[in-house]
Structure 1
């Protein structure tokens, strides 16, 4: 029997799926966890509880629900939020919480220092990316400077997926797509680790070996088998970042295909014919040799809807609150009664790359209600997304197809606002499980039971969302961008007061 397992570790929850050789889902499982915010601008996970602990729970649930013999599972693939920074000791034990992706902005001083020492142009040319809060290199330097006692014990620097790979197989490995986010430690031309630009961070011996996302990193160890219920010796791929697996899951394949991931953050990947050279976007080799991808991401999106629910809908629980808020917002006209929201509640990534940016509601008057505010927040995220699409177009990478995925695709208002403000149609595939499904597909490709083009039959197109072009949005988009420019200095000063 040819079954594969995909496990994805997200910002607030983890998901798992077992899939058969034709792409049919046999079992699914989900488990929640928290994002830790020790101080403003920081974001962390507990690696053994939130990453490995979730994987153990999910594999147990999936095997129990499916009733499959563990020997029937031919391959396992994982993905996770990324890029993260996790120091481990010589035995692979975590030395602190995992520092999360671009939503964690603690290394701003290190970014400025590295830019000053090396030069932004040289970093961009060799690494394919400007240094931003998404870059792992400055966060390692932050560790070295601010937690020297931990750094002294550090044998390896891992990210979330490479930690899972180690726990499953005992191997230290990372995929090229993830590694490209370790600037200035990854050379996009040689596709290898480098210390040419600086030796101030770490040596190459402290970084995992590089593989492509459909390559096998190792096999399930006896210890991992005992903890997860999986069969010892089962192949495990090197894994990848969740966004790449999500893109794979919804037919993102050739140049011009763009994924729009609606999750805790908006994350966008576009496959391109050649490397796009724009410092406002991130670059990485795609999941197989000879392919390219440009990426962008907002710092907060679904995270903001969680925040709003927790602060302004405390009388309701969970999904009930989200449903009620969305219904209230949908009953409010486009433009939220002249209310604008900047969604920069944890700084911002693409395209402004400003860790000091702050969120705000602007234009409030006594006629505004909770519904107006929630609609403005949804529209603010959509404005931020449109700003990203505009950046891709200016960089010469106009998308030919936008394929939407993630929990946010269940929100008609959110998707419609994104199409209306960005002026772009979106495609939704039949299966929106997301990264874990993409992982299961990559696992099948790794062992030869599926070919890359098979994803179109595994997950066919279900529906389209087309722009309705509300005139109010065209006016407000310009105001949205001007509002950031008008308030950025004030936001920076306010941040310095804390």
Structure 2
């Protein structure tokens, strides 16, 4: 028997899976960690502990649980949250905490300055994306200005996946899908690093070597073998961002396929026949040469349900809280008895790109219950999601198939409300393990053990969620849009 290993570092948890050549799960392991918020608007991880430490723990746990010999693992692939910004020295040692993706808004001034200096239209034309809190380039410039001593000692800027691959193989690489988020340092037409748009951010030789996700980056070193238990010489792929691996895990592979990832954030990926550049969404080359993807993401989704549980449902046992809250919310009708929630508790990413946006629960009166509020929370996330899917439709990118993935698919209220509010049916595949399963499939693909179409056999569709439109949702979605517009200036003034 031969096996492949996939490990994914998420915002709050690391998951790993060992899979045989037919896609059967042999062993799984997970380990939790925290997102650090050292000050409002910042978001960080500790790379040695949260990324590498978790990888080693999960890897060894899987080897122990499965009893599989390391030599039988024929390839490894990893993914992680992204895009992140991590400066390392010449030995690959992190010089600070990893700065997370779009939930970290520390580089607002640099985003504004670079946009004004280069020009928004030029950035879109060359980079495929507007500069936002998701962009790594402005965060590197922030590092140069605010942590000059760290910048001076930086040998490479890595992202989370790059850091893992470097620890495993000694190779400093990054996949094109992730690299496209390093605007304005990546040109989507030439698919290469560039510095002609802003030559004061970073010398290009400090950026990783570019690869496609199905390419082998290197092989397990003796040092990595000693820590992880993996066999020396085992191939390791270039990896990618967790959302892309999650999409791949359920067969998002053809133009028109869309993934809706229900996680700590909502993340959407649409495989597209051609590149589409619009400041409201993101573009990147897909995981393979010559293919394209359009993306979008909310800043706060599953994280918001945890916030509500921790602060509004302390009387409930943590393990049973979500089913209990869903039951309470089920007694509230569509529209949550006149409550509206803006889910912008960490600002917002697509399509409004407003780091100053604030969360709000509007319309409260003395008759409202916790069930009404929890339903309003779920509906608020779904309204934010509809704002994104409507934007895709305006750009001529309606999905032909929508595949729901992630831990949030267990929240039936959330899943059904999203279909009802967006008007889009969803399918759920048999295995909802997520990105780590997509990593295991990518590892098998990289060594020629499977073809891309085999994912349909590895992970067949098991459930269909049919949209059930409701007039209350249509009315409240219009009010949701107005509520943000009419409170935007107040929210900005509160910062």
TM bucket, shorter chain: over 0.9
Q: Say if 2:326 is the partner of 1:339.
A: no
Distance 1:434 1:12 in 2: 14
How much has 1:117 moved relative to structure 2? 1.0
Distance 2:439 2:330 in 1: 34
Q: Say if 2:91 is the partner of 1:91.
A: yes
Structure 1 equivalent of residue 223 of structure 2: 223
Structure 2 equivalent of residue 34 of structure 1: 34
Q: Deviations over 1:204-235 (max 9, x none)?
A: 10100000000000001111111111111110
- Output the TM-score relative to the length of structure 2: 0.99
Structure 1 equivalent of residue 124 of structure 2: 124
Q: Deviations over 1:170-191 (max 9, x none)?
A: 1100000000000000000000
Q: Which aligned pairs between 1:441-452 and structure 2 lie closer than 5 A?
A: 441-452=441-452
Structure 2 equivalent of residue 146 of structure 1: 146
Q: How many residue pairs end up in the alignment?
A: 495
Structure 1 equivalent of residue 355 of structure 2: 355
Secondary structure of the structure 2 residue equivalent to 1:318: coil
Structure 1 equivalent of residue 366 of structure 2: 366
Structure 1 equivalent of residue 306 of structure 2: 306
How much has 1:203 moved relative to structure 2? 1.1
Structure 2 equivalent of residue 463 of structure 1: 463
Structure 2 equivalent of residue 238 of structure 1: 238
Question: Alignment RMSD, CA only?
Answer: 0.7
Q: Say if 2:236 is the partner of 1:249.
A: no
Q: Which aligned pairs between 1:56-455 and structure 2 lie closer than 5 A?
A: 56-455=56-455
Distance 1:317 1:140 in 2: 43
Distance 1:329 1:70 in 2: 48
How much has 1:399 moved relative to structure 2? 0.7
How much has 1:317 moved relative to structure 2? 3.8
Q: Deviations over 1:21-48 (max 9, x none)?
A: 1111001111100000111111100001
How much has 1:257 moved relative to structure 2? 0.3
How much has 1:283 moved relative to structure 2? 0.3
How much has 1:309 moved relative to structure 2? 1.1
Mean alpha-carbon deviation: is it higher for 147-156 or for 267-276? 147-156
Distance 2:267 2:461 in 1: 20
Secondary structure of the structure 2 residue equivalent to 1:57: helix
Distance 2:37 2:316 in 1: 24
Q: Say if 2:472 is the partner of 1:472.
A: yes
Distance 1:321 1:99 in 2: 31
Stretches of structure 1 that go unaligned for 5 or more consecutive residues are: none
How much has 1:372 moved relative to structure 2? 1.1
Distance 2:344 2:242 in 1: 22
Q: Deviations over 1:331-382 (max 9, x none)?
A: 2211111000000000000000000100000001111121111111110000
Q: Deviations over 1:127-166 (max 9, x none)?
A: 0000011000001111111111111111100000000000
Stretches of structure 2 that go unaligned for 5 or more consecutive residues are: none
Secondary structure of the structure 2 residue equivalent to 1:319: coil
Mean alpha-carbon deviation: is it higher for 351-360 or for 366-375? 366-375
Distance 1:256 1:134 in 2: 24
Q: Deviations over 1:36-72 (max 9, x none)?
A: 0111111100001000011001001101111100000
Distance 1:70 1:417 in 2: 44
Secondary structure of the structure 1 residue equivalent to 2:41: coil
How much has 1:319 moved relative to structure 2? 2.7
Structure 2 equivalent of residue 489 of structure 1: 489
Distance 2:398 2:335 in 1: 26
Distance 1:281 1:319 in 2: 36
Q: Deviations over 1:366-422 (max 9, x none)?
A: 111211111111100000000000000001111110000000111111011000110
